[in-house]
Amino acid sequence: MKIALCQLNPLVGDIEGNTSRLITTIEEHRTEHCDLFIFPELFLQGYPPRDLLEKQWFNRQSETALLKLVEYSRLVPETGFLFGTVLPSNRSHGKPLVNAAVLLSNGNILLQQQKTLLPTYDVFDETRYFEPSAAVAAVRFKGEILGISICEDAWNDPDHWQSRLYEREPVSELAAAGATLLINISASPFHMGKEQLRYTVMRNHARKHGLPLVFVNQIGGNDDLIFDGNSMVCGRDGSLQHILPAFEESVFITDLSVHGKTQPAPERDGIGSVHDALVLGVRDYVRKCGFSNVLLGLSGGIDSAVTAAIAARAVGKENVWGVTMPSRYSSDGSIGDSEQLTRHLGIRFSTIPIESSFTALLETLEPFFSGMPPSLAEENLQARIRGTILMGLSNKFNMLLLSTGNKSELAVGYSTLYGDMNGGMSVISDLPKMMVYQLAAYINRNGEVIPEATITKAPSAELRPDQKDQDSLPPYPVLDAILERLVERGRSLDEIIAEGYDPDTVTWVAQAIARNEYKRRQAPTGLKVTPKAFGSGRRFPIASSYTWS
């Protein structure tokens, strides 16, 4: 069987556009005489469509699109195509919709396979909208018996997980039903390490059942989620026959009757994948939200430098504006390092001093602040002046403002609401500080882009004389290690302290995380690149009291 793996980037909500893209893709490759075109999960709606699924008009558009594709399939009778879409559940109780894979050929719907396992953890909330499938069925097509599953359906292999979320294992059920070819259509988002994990899961299915497996994944950035693609074909022995490029659209045609050369397992895991994921995430967020240009504040520090470098790669250097806003506490090096960075990147650069605005605000507040020592209030005034200037430029010139804070700062509240947290997107908010340094080294791998002084200087907000981050925070290697255990692993204080970490430091970090939940609730959308981000997949109360024991 000759199959086209269509690893494409749908726009969430654009059912008409995504449907047209499906048809166009088939037409562009029609002369190659493919037996089957395979598209990702919920391709017609884009993943995740979230509460659009609660709108009747949206679901009517989905029904119209399916009818259009049924009619189109009559025009290509020699070809079948498989894609993900929403269908009505047609049940008297439960959720009104199902997440389905539809196989069309010559005006006929050969299969409507509903998704069996509906994830409800981290960023997923599919039981909010969908009913699960009660059964799976294999379908005969062009001499093969296709066992079709949808994303999570392939992630409950008892040979892979010590503890499973679901009782059923759909892929094994399909193999038992006589499938000769396993197919999984997915919208499987990226996080660091996911590529190797996903390959291991798919390879194990092929090897265990002795069946070839085709995996087709969505690519693109949709809000906080980034989809990396890495679609693949595995041989019946679990060998990797083909793998599609990561983080880019691709249509790859394979003939399953021809045994290809075995390829090595993917080796992209690491900081290079994080870099490419962020570039794709920024590019798509900017484009899909209707912007062409971005701006950001440049402090001379590593966070804003890394953000600027990612932005320049994502949207083009000519579409990035870096603004430095020195105050009485800004060092000459910070201004100079910012300017040097912009020269290396080739982006626009402007300097807007904030001293006069800061002085005016201090004079306005002097009757109320009189007799009180300087405090965080005066420091935050400077951050908020900068945030106001940047938002003014954003509004005036219709440019998306990028926020530059990292995960370590966001976790413990080392940031200013309505100041440096201003923006329409937070690019590195899921990168702990030490990972920011790794990313800077990766950006500089072929020559200096980020000035060396920016990387080696002690981090500082420069909001008071001789200020350093470490005056207020634990050393970043220690802070990041504790955060990883608290946020990603869910460890208790006692477990972390038992590893040798200082009890007072561990307690302070945990309390700071809880205390600053309200800030994170108001933060811009951030791109998810770790297994647990401060975003749609983490839901903690604000007004609360709890201990981490």
Catalytic residue annotation: 41, 115, 151
Rounded Cα distance, 149 and 167, in Å: 16
Query: Is residue 53 a contact partner of residue 95, using CB atoms and an 8 Å limit?
Result: no
Concatenated DSSP letters for 478-532?
HHHHHHIIIIIS---HHHHHHTT--HHHHHHHHHHHHHTHHHHHTSPPB---SSS
3-state secondary structure 191-214: CCCHHHHHHHHHHHHHHHHCCCEE
d(CA 329, CA 336): 14
Q: Which helix (H) or strand (E) holds 303?
A: helix 302-315
Q: How far apart are CA 156 and CA 147, in angstroms?
A: 16
Residue 173 Cα to chain centre, angstroms: 31
Q: What is the CA radius of gyration of the chain?
A: 26
Distance CA 151, CA 227 (A): 13
Residues 6+ apart with CB under 8 A from 9: 218, 219, 220, 227, 249, 284
Question: What number of H helices and E strands is found in the chain?
Answer: 16, 19
Single-letter code of the amino acid located at 199: Y
The string over 276-289, giving b where at least 16 C-beta atoms fall within 10 Å of a residue's C-beta and e elsewhere, is: bbbbbbbbbbbbbe
Entry field: residues in the chain: 549
Q: Is 179 helix (H, G, I), strand (E, B) or coil?
A: coil
Phi and psi based region of residue 270 (left: phi greater than 0; alpha: psi -120 to 50; beta: remaining):
left
Q: Which of 201, 154, 455 is nearest to 304 (CA)?
A: 455
**What string of H, E and C letters represents the secondary structure of 218-264?**
CEEEECCEEEEECCEEECCCCCEEEECCECCCEEEEEECCCCCCCEC
Residue type, 361: L
Q: Which residue matches tokens 């208790």?
A: 492
**What residues does 96 pair with on adjacent strands?**
none
| CA 316 to mean position of chain CA atoms | 20
SS3 state of residue 342? helix
Token pair of 514 as six digits: 């809880």
